[in-house]
């Protein structure tokens, strides 16, 4: 059981370039999330989705876009990379948004924008 | 807006000592609270999940308590080992998961 899979693990982008961070889960979870983690800081929510076709903004959505065409996949798009987007990005999923279920995280994508 | 604070930011103890990690949050209307472990350069591993109706949860040497009314949770790690060295993150779940900045633990052999 793979859980939450993120690709790539590492990436270096030049300012102004675009890329998509991939996230796939095989647990049939409805809820999926994208977080970023800056050094010495807690994780901050970028976007989340409560099911296929439904997405919403989190705390720090500027500079990012998402889509959710299937239950399994939740890609994060950076359109014009900026140095402020240098961070570690984590994708997570949960069965529901309610009390009984915790979150499962992917292993992260370390992005550097130069 | 939910604010989650973890104190201390870093902790260094000799092997065998018990660890006490603190987490506080500002809004008590939460669904659950989850403790994670993060090793350097790695993802997050879930340690314990405490539902809002529970007071504590235990797994092996780990015990986490939750006092929703005072907005506090404590993670206890008994008889610490060098392998416990990591960053421990507390996260509260209201309509989304809000994280503290973590406590980085070093256990000296």
Cα–Cα distance, B10 to A49 (Å, whole number): 34
Cα–Cα distance, A31 to A20 (Å, whole number): 20
Banded pLDDT at B36 (limits 50, 70, 90): very high
Its sign, for the CA torsion B90, B49, B86, B14, is positive
Supply the pLDDT for residue B14.
97
pLDDT digits (tens, 9 = 90+) for A26-71: 999 999 999 999 987 889 999 999 999 999 999 999 999 999 999 9
Three-class secondary structure of residue B28 per DSSP: coil
Supply the pLDDT for residue A101.
65
Chain A residues in contact with B44 (beta carbon < 8 A)? 90, 92, 105
User: Which among A40, A48, A99 is the nearest to B52, CB-wise?
Assistant: A99
Its sign, for the CA torsion B74, B76, B82, B83, is negative
Q: Smallest Cα–Cα separation from A21: which of A76, A72, A64, A58?
A: A76
A100 touches chain B (CB under 8 A): yes
Flag if B91 and A40 touch (Cβ within 8 Å). no
Element holding B25 (H helix, E strand): strand B19-25
A34 touches chain B (CB under 8 A): no
Supply the pLDDT for residue B93.
86
Report the mean per-residue pLDDT for chain B. 93
Backbone angles phi, psi at A84, to 5 degrees: -65, -10
Residue A14's alpha-carbon distances to A29, A35, A36, in angstroms, are 34, 21, 19
Supply the pLDDT for residue A39.
82
Checking if the pLDDT of A99 tops 60, the result is no
Chain B residues in contact with A98 (beta carbon < 8 A)? 31
Banded pLDDT at A98 (limits 50, 70, 90): low
Interfacial B residues in 4-63 facing A (CB < 8 Å) = 4, 31-32, 34, 36, 41-46, 49, 51-53
Instruction: Give every CB contact of residue A66 below 8 A, 6+ residues apart in sequence.
Output: A34, A46, A47, A49, A55, A74, A75, A76, A77
Question: How wide is the angle at C-alpha A113 spanned by C-alphas A69 and A41, nearest 5°?
Answer: 80
Mean pLDDT value of segment A3-8: 95
Supply the pLDDT for residue A95.
83
Banded pLDDT at A18 (limits 50, 70, 90): very high
Give the number of C-alpha atoms closer than 13 A to the C-alpha of residue A103, restricted to the C-beta side.
34
A39 touches chain B (CB under 8 A): no
B101 touches chain A (CB under 8 A): yes
Question: How wide is the angle at C-alpha B61 spanned by C-alphas B55 and B67, nearest 5°?
Answer: 20
Number of Cβ within 10 Å of residue B18's Cβ equals 11
Three-class secondary structure of residue B60 per DSSP: coil
pLDDT digits (tens, 9 = 90+) for B39-91: 988 888 889 999 888 999 999 999 999 999 999 999 999 999 999 999 999 99
Checking if the pLDDT of A1 tops 70, the result is no
* Mutation target vs B (from A29, A93, A99, A109; most B CBs, 10 A cutoff): A99
């Amino acid at each position: 059981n793979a859980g939450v899979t993120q690709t790539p693990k590492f990436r270096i982008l030049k300012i102004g370039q675009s890329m998509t961070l991939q996230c796939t889960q095989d647990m049939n979870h409805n809820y999926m999330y994208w977080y970023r983690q800056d050094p010495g800081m807690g994780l901050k929510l970028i976007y989340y989705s409560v099911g296929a076709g439904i997405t919403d903004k989190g705390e720090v959505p500027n500079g990012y876009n998402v889509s959710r065409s299937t239950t399994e996949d939740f890609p994060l798009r950076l359109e014009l990379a900026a140095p402020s987007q240098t961070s570690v990005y984590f994708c997570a999923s949960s069965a529901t948004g309610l009390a009984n279920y915790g979150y499962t995280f992917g292993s992260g994508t370390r992005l550097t924008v130069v | 807006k939910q604010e989650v604070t973890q104190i201390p930011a870093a902790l260094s103890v000799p092997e065998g000592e018990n660890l006490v990690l603190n987490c506080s949050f500002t809004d008590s209307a939460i669904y659950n609270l989850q403790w994670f472990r993060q090793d350097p350069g790695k993802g997050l591993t879930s340690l314990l999940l405490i539902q809002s109706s529970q007071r504590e949860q235990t797994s092996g040497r780990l015990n986490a308590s939750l006092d929703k009314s005072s907005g506090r949770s404590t993670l206890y790690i008994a008889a610490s080992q060098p392998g416990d060295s990591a960053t421990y993150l507390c996260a509260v779940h209201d309509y989304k998961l809000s994280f503290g900045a973590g406590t980085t633990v070093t256990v000296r052999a």
